[in-house]
Amino acid sequence: MQTTLTHIGTATMLVEFGGLTFLTDPVFDPAPTEYVSGPVVLRSTVEPAISAGELPPFDAALLSHDEHPDNLDAAGRRLLEGKPVMTTQSGAGRLGGQAVGIAPWSSHTFSVGDKSVIITATPAHHGPAGDVVGFILRVPGEEKVLYISGDTTYESDLDRIGDLFSVGVAVLHLGAAKFAILGDQMISMDSANAAKFSAVLGADAVVPIHFSSWEHFTETEDGIAASFAEAGLTDRLKWLTPGVPRVLEI
């Protein structure tokens, strides 16, 4: 079985899986844009590789959380109108409409016609951000799954994913995001922990996203590549070129 991933920017992707198409964490505002939230300022630096107007049809959205503009901005919210959205339980309450809240380790089967994908929420740890989830996507009857981490640091409870599922492709939100008000606290995974997690997870392929296009990311592609090389995992890394679909075997 295959999946096709098209990286649009930050954590935004088109995911073709099991005959269905999902949009993840939609961010489509023009860049640069500055967002002020209390003492924290987020600044985007790069335009999405595909504009909202160029986006092909999709069946549903996978939204790790709804409270940060680098995962859901104004243009992204408009794209969700009238669409099924799989997200956190609290986020579903805020979004309303067709939003479905999935608690960590709970599952929801999403179907269109004769195509179905089982979506299991996974834990995510995003500092003081509130509720965040990742997602496991599985086609009924298939063993291998697609894992999308959501914004998270590496904590021990994530090791359970590798115990419960056979992960073909793991899409990891990286970047070691930091803000001055939080000191050295990271609110997304750094490359060293991503390499450690990937080894425990046992994923056949690891796809890094969420490490560019915003000022608060502190690690680049070179740093990620170096950490995976040090861990002897270079062969697992699969890079996406924004706007260009890539087919991966699950």
CATH code assigned at 160? 3.60.15.10
Question: Does the structure show a pLDDT above 80 at 241?
Answer: yes
Tell me what pLDDT residue 185 has: 76
In a domain, 160, yes or no: yes
Q: Which tens digits make up the pLDDT trace of 68-104?
A: 899 999 999 999 999 999 999 999 999 999 999 999 9
In a domain, 188, yes or no: yes
Question: Does the structure show a pLDDT above 90 at 5?
Answer: yes
| Mean pLDDT value across the chain | 95
Please give the C-alpha separations between residue 132 and each of 3, 52, 116, 138, 147, in angstroms, as whole numbers. 24, 24, 24, 20, 15
In a domain, 250, yes or no: no
What length does the chain have?
250
In a domain, 101, yes or no: yes
Question: Does the structure show a pLDDT above 70 at 182?
Answer: no
In a domain, 214, yes or no: yes
Boundaries of domain holding 122:
2-232
pLDDT category, 231, cuts 50, 70, 90? very high
Question: Does the structure show a pLDDT above 90 at 186?
Answer: no
Q: Which tens digits make up the pLDDT trace of 97-156?
A: 999 999 999 999 999 999 999 999 999 998 776 799 999 999 999 999 999 999 999 999
* CA–CA separation, 144 and 152 (whole Å): 22
Question: Does the structure show a pLDDT above 80 at 179?
Answer: no
Helices (H), ranges, the chain:
74-80, 89-95, 159-164, 191-201, 221-230
Buried b (16+ CB within 10 A) or exposed e, 214-223: bebbebeeeb
Number of domain units in the chain: 1
In a domain, 237, yes or no: no
